[in-house]
Chains A and B, each alone.
Chain A
Amino acid sequence: MTESQRYEVLMLGWEYPPHISGGLGTACEGLTTALAPLGVGIDFVVPHLYGQEHAPHMRLNSPDQSLRELDPLAWGSNYADGATASDRLMVSPDGVASLRSALQETLLYETRADGGDENRATQQGDNRRVRAVEHTRIQALLSPYLRPEDYSYLLKALEEGNDAVLHELLGPTAMLFEPDSASSPVDARERAAQIARGDAPGSSPHYGDNLFGEVMRYAERVAVWARHKRPQVVHAHDWMTFPAATRVAELHGIPMIAHVHSLEQDRSGDGANETIVGLEGAGLRAADRVIAVSHYTARMINQQHGIPFERIDVVHNGAYARKTVSAYRSESADDRPMVLFLGRVTYQKGPDYFVEAAAKVLQVVPEASFVMAGNGDMLPRLKDRVRELGIESSFSFPGFVRGADVERLFSTADVYVMPSVSEPFGISALEAMSYETPVVLSRQSGASEILHHALKVDFWDVNKLAGQIVAILRYPELRSSIVDMAREEVRRVHWEAAAAKVKQAYERALKGD
Chain B
Amino acid sequence: MPSVCFYFEVHQPYRVRPYDVFQIGRDHQYLDEKLNAEVMQKVARKCYLPANQLMLDLIDRYEGRFKVAYSLTGVGLEQMHSYAPEVIESFQRLVATGCVELLAETYHHSLASIYDLAEFREQVAIHGRLMRSLFGVKPTVFRNTELVYNDDIAREVAKLGYLGMLAEGADDVLAGRSPNFVYRSAGGELGLLLKNYRLSDDVAFRFSNGAWPEWPLTADKFARWIHGTGGDADTINLMMDYETFGEHQWQETGIFAFLEHLPGALLEHPDWSIKTPSETLEAYAPVETLPYPRTTSWADVARDLSAWNGNEMQARAIERVTTLGDRIKRRKDSAMLALWRKLTTSDHFYYMSTKWFGDGDVHAYFSPYESPYEAFINYMNALTDLEKQVDKPLPVTSARGVPTNATIASSRTPASAPVPTPGSSVVVPKVVDPRAATSKDGSVRSA
Shortest Cβ distance from A475 into B: residue: B380
Mask of A446-472 contacts with B, CB within 8 angstroms, 1/0: 000000110110000001101110110
Shortest Cβ distance from A476 into B: residue: B312
Smallest CB–CB gap between A477 and chain B, Å? 4
The docked-state distance in angstroms from the alpha carbon of A475 to that of B377 is 9
What B residues does A463 contact at CB under 8 A?
20, 22
The docked-state distance in angstroms from the alpha carbon of A452 to that of B311 is 16
What A residues does B20 contact at CB under 8 A?
463-464, 467
- For chain B, the count of residues having a C-beta within 8 Å of the partner chain is 20
For the complex, is A169 an interface residue (Cβ under 8 Å from B)? no
What B residues does A455 contact at CB under 8 A?
371, 373-374, 377
Known contacts A485-B354, A489-B358; decide if A478 and B376 are in contact (CB<8 Å).
Answer: yes
For the complex, is A104 an interface residue (Cβ under 8 Å from B)? no
Smallest CB–CB gap between B363 and chain A, Å? 12
For the complex, is B255 an interface residue (Cβ under 8 Å from A)? no
For the complex, is B115 an interface residue (Cβ under 8 Å from A)? no
Smallest CB–CB gap between B352 and chain A, Å? 8
Known contacts A452-B371, A477-B316, A481-B313; decide if A466 and B357 are in contact (CB<8 Å).
Answer: no
What B residues does A456 contact at CB under 8 A?
370-371
The docked-state distance in angstroms from the alpha carbon of A467 to that of B316 is 19
For the complex, is B21 an interface residue (Cβ under 8 Å from A)? yes
For the complex, is B372 an interface residue (Cβ under 8 Å from A)? yes
What A residues does B376 contact at CB under 8 A?
471, 475, 477-478, 481
Contact of B377 among A360, A452, A453, A471 (CB under 8 A): A471
Known contacts A364-B21, A466-B21, A485-B354; decide if A480 and B377 are in contact (CB<8 Å).
Answer: no
The docked-state distance in angstroms from the alpha carbon of A453 to that of B357 is 9
Known contacts A364-B21, A453-B358, A464-B20; decide if A477 and B371 are in contact (CB<8 Å).
Answer: no
Shortest Cβ distance from A365 into B: residue: B21
Name, among B21, B316, B357, B374, the residue most crowded by chain A CB atoms within 10 Å (CB to CB): B21
User: Contact between B22 and A360 (Cβ–Cβ < 8 Å)?
Assistant: yes
The docked-state distance in angstroms from the alpha carbon of A485 to that of B352 is 13
Smallest CB–CB gap between A18 and chain B, Å? 22
Interface residues of B in 297-353 (CB under 8 A from A): 311-313, 315-316
The docked-state distance in angstroms from the alpha carbon of A485 to that of B313 is 12
The docked-state distance in angstroms from the alpha carbon of A174 to that of B9 is 57
Contact of B313 among A467, A474, A475 (CB under 8 A): A475
The docked-state distance in angstroms from the alpha carbon of A471 to that of B377 is 6
User: Contact between A485 and B21 (Cβ–Cβ < 8 Å)?
Assistant: no
User: Contact between B22 and A481 (Cβ–Cβ < 8 Å)?
Assistant: no
The docked-state distance in angstroms from the alpha carbon of A452 to that of B364 is 12
User: Contact between B312 and A481 (Cβ–Cβ < 8 Å)?
Assistant: yes
What B residues does A471 contact at CB under 8 A?
21, 376-377, 380-381
For the complex, is A40 an interface residue (Cβ under 8 Å from B)? no
Smallest CB–CB gap between B350 and chain A, Å? 15
For the complex, is A286 an interface residue (Cβ under 8 Å from B)? no
What B residues does A292 contact at CB under 8 A?
none
What B residues does A478 contact at CB under 8 A?
313, 373, 376-377
What B residues does A484 contact at CB under 8 A?
311, 354
Smallest CB–CB gap between A138 and chain B, Å? 38
What A residues does B373 contact at CB under 8 A?
455, 478, 481-482
Smallest CB–CB gap between A471 and chain B, Å? 4
What B residues does A360 contact at CB under 8 A?
22
User: Contact between B315 and A467 (Cβ–Cβ < 8 Å)?
Assistant: no
The docked-state distance in angstroms from the alpha carbon of A194 to that of B315 is 57
Contact of A485 among B316, B357, B377, B380 (CB under 8 A): B357
Shortest Cβ distance from B20 into A: residue: A467
Smallest CB–CB gap between B90 and chain A, Å? 40
What A residues does B311 contact at CB under 8 A?
477, 481, 484
The docked-state distance in angstroms from the alpha carbon of A453 to that of B355 is 12
The docked-state distance in angstroms from the alpha carbon of A467 to that of B315 is 21
The docked-state distance in angstroms from the alpha carbon of A485 to that of B356 is 10
Interface residues of B in 269-289 (CB under 8 A from A): none
User: Contact between A467 and B358 (Cβ–Cβ < 8 Å)?
Assistant: no
Contact of A470 among B21, B313, B315, B374 (CB under 8 A): B21
What A residues does B374 contact at CB under 8 A?
455
What B residues does A482 contact at CB under 8 A?
373
Smallest CB–CB gap between A458 and chain B, Å? 12
What B residues does A474 contact at CB under 8 A?
380
What B residues does A363 contact at CB under 8 A?
22
User: Contact between A467 and B370 (Cβ–Cβ < 8 Å)?
Assistant: no
The docked-state distance in angstroms from the alpha carbon of A468 to that of B312 is 17
Smallest CB–CB gap between A453 and chain B, Å? 7
Smallest CB–CB gap between A95 and chain B, Å? 53
User: Contact between B313 and A452 (Cβ–Cβ < 8 Å)?
Assistant: no
Smallest CB–CB gap between A358 and chain B, Å? 14
The docked-state distance in angstroms from the alpha carbon of A467 to that of B19 is 9
The docked-state distance in angstroms from the alpha carbon of A193 to that of B357 is 51
The docked-state distance in angstroms from the alpha carbon of A391 to that of B358 is 38
Interface residues of B in 1-55 (CB under 8 A from A): 20-22
The docked-state distance in angstroms from the alpha carbon of A152 to that of B357 is 39
Smallest CB–CB gap between B224 and chain A, Å? 41
Mask of A427-459 contacts with B, CB within 8 angstroms, 1/0: 000000000000000000000000011011000
Smallest CB–CB gap between A368 and chain B, Å? 13
Shortest Cβ distance from B354 into A: residue: A485
What B residues does A470 contact at CB under 8 A?
21
Known contacts A478-B377, A485-B357; decide if A467 and B371 are in contact (CB<8 Å).
Answer: no
Mask of A354-365 contacts with B, CB within 8 angstroms, 1/0: 000000100110
The docked-state distance in angstroms from the alpha carbon of A363 to that of B371 is 26
The docked-state distance in angstroms from the alpha carbon of A471 to that of B371 is 14
User: Contact between B372 and A481 (Cβ–Cβ < 8 Å)?
Assistant: yes
Mask of B372-388 contacts with A, CB within 8 angstroms, 1/0: 11101100110000000
The docked-state distance in angstroms from the alpha carbon of A474 to that of B316 is 12
User: Contact between A477 and B312 (Cβ–Cβ < 8 Å)?
Assistant: yes
Shortest Cβ distance from A482 into B: residue: B373
Known contacts A364-B21, A452-B371; decide if A480 and B380 are in contact (CB<8 Å).
Answer: no
Shortest Cβ distance from B310 into A: residue: A481
What A residues does B370 contact at CB under 8 A?
456
User: Contact between A477 and B313 (Cβ–Cβ < 8 Å)?
Assistant: yes
User: Contact between A467 and B21 (Cβ–Cβ < 8 Å)?
Assistant: yes
The docked-state distance in angstroms from the alpha carbon of A464 to that of B370 is 13
The docked-state distance in angstroms from the alpha carbon of A398 to that of B316 is 36
Known contacts A466-B21, A467-B20, A470-B21; decide if A475 and B316 are in contact (CB<8 Å).
Answer: yes
User: Contact between B22 and A452 (Cβ–Cβ < 8 Å)?
Assistant: no
The docked-state distance in angstroms from the alpha carbon of A455 to that of B375 is 11
Mask of A125-166 contacts with B, CB within 8 angstroms, 1/0: 000000000000000000000000000000000000000000
Instruction: Name 12 extra pairs, CB < 8 A, besides A470-B21, A481-B372.
Output: A453-B358, A456-B370, A463-B20, A471-B376, A471-B377, A471-B380, A475-B376, A477-B376, A485-B354, A485-B357, A485-B358, A489-B358
A-B pairs with lowest CB-CB distance, top 4: A452-B358, A467-B20, A477-B312, A477-B316
Residues of chain B touching chain A, judged by Cβ–Cβ distance below 8 Å, are 20-22, 311-313, 315-316, 354, 357-358, 370-374, 376-377, 380-381
15 CB-based A-B contacts, threshold 8 Å: A360-B22, A452-B357, A453-B358, A463-B22, A464-B20, A467-B381, A475-B313, A475-B316, A477-B312, A477-B315, A478-B313, A481-B312, A481-B354, A485-B354, A485-B357
